[in-house]
């Protein structure tokens, strides 16, 4: 049997064996969700999970036409929506106008999708109900159902990316017990609502080196077997 690690190289030169990040904490272990021999088109539409890529860089580079994130009616100075507005040269939005615009759409009990046209990128921002102290999975479900409807037959809004809503400060996504839901729960909520775009993981998730992660959702059947205690 030929040693594929010797035959095939990742880097130029002879440094493959020297680029060893085994003891680096901020890393992930990406696991293929199909066999290498499965080269046909996957019949199941999936969410693509972006591990380690920088969302703002990709937005500035024009890789997406639309973005899904969160907004609030109090202060967005530390949110990605304000960072994006400052980054895009043709955007006419800033922190103050973003927040002021959101205040006009707050509803007492219903999630609202607030649109911000930043020229190069159209932002679909989830605005939590006034009676909610934070976002919950039901808010995410209702918001992504609306976004899916807004994307229907609107090719000019594709491709689309979304944040994971995990690890946020002002616009936290929490369960009833005050803890954050799992990433799988968030992906399932988005997927069930019809979303099929890309989802960018939060930087804190890049330290999940002891847990194998996949690049797409729904996850492979092997996850169900592991959940049941099998291999």
132-168, pLDDT tens digit by residue?
Answer: 999 999 999 999 999 999 999 999 999 999 999 999 9
Mean pLDDT of all residues belonging to the chain: 91
Please answer whether residues 196 and 47 qualify as being in contact, where contact means their C-beta atoms are separated by less than 8 angstroms.
yes
Confidence of residue 230 (pLDDT cuts 50, 70, 90): low
Is the pLDDT score of 10 beyond 90? no
Residue 213 is given by DSSP the state E
Is the pLDDT score of 204 beyond 90? no
Is the pLDDT score of 84 beyond 90? yes
**Tokens of residue 162, six digits:** 């979304």
* Mean pLDDT across 67-93: 96
Confidence of residue 3 (pLDDT cuts 50, 70, 90): very low
**Tokens of residue 57, six digits:** 């860089």
Predicted pLDDT of residue 12:
87
* Mean pLDDT across 168-194: 96
All structural domains of the chain, each given as residue ranges with its CATH number in brackets, are 54-201 (3.40.220.10)
3-state secondary structure of 212: strand
Q: How many CB atoms are closer than 10 A to CB 154? A: 13
Highest mean pLDDT among 15-29, 49-63, 213-227: 49-63
Confidence of residue 170 (pLDDT cuts 50, 70, 90): confident
Diameter of the chain by CA atoms? 67
Q: What torsion, rounded to 10 degrees, do the Cα atoms 126, 132, 138, 141 define?
A: -10
Confidence of residue 34 (pLDDT cuts 50, 70, 90): confident
Instruction: Report the C-alpha gap between 54 and 95 in whole angstroms.
Output: 21
pLDDT digits (tens, 9 = 90+) for 103-124: 999 999 999 999 999 999 999 9
Instruction: Report the C-alpha gap between 142 and 179 in whole angstroms.
Output: 20
Q: What torsion, rounded to 10 degrees, do the Cα atoms 135, 207, 68, 146 define?
A: -50
* Mean pLDDT across 11-21: 79
């Amino acid at each position: 049997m030929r040693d594929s690690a010797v035959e095939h190289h990742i880097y130029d030169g002879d440094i493959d064996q020297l680029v060893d990040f085994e003891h680096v904490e901020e890393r992930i272990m990406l696991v293929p969700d199909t066999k290498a021999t499965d080269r046909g088109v996957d019949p199941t539409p999936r969410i693509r999970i972006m591990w380690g890529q920088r969302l703002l860089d990709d937005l500035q580079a024009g890789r997406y036409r639309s973005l899904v994130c969160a907004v609030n009616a109090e202060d967005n100075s530390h949110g990605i929506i304000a960072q994006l507005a400052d980054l895009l040269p043709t955007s006419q939005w800033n922190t103050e106008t973003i927040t002021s615009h959101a205040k006009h759409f707050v509803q007492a009990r219903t999630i609202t999708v607030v649109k911000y046209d930043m020229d190069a990128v159209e932002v679909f921002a989830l605005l939590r109900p006034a009676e909610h102290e934070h976002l919950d999975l039901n808010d995410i479900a209702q918001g992504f159902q609306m976004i899916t409807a807004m994307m229907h037959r609107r090719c000019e809004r594709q491709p689309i990316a979304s944040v994971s809503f995990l690890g946020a400060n002002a616009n936290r996504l929490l369960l009833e017990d005050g803890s954050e839901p799992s990433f799988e729960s968030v992906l399932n909520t988005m997927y069930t609502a019809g979303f099929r775009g890309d989802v960018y993981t939060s930087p804190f998730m890049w330290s999940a080196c002891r847990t194998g992660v996949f690049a797409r959702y729904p996850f492979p059947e092997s996850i169900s077997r592991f959940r049941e205690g099998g291999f």
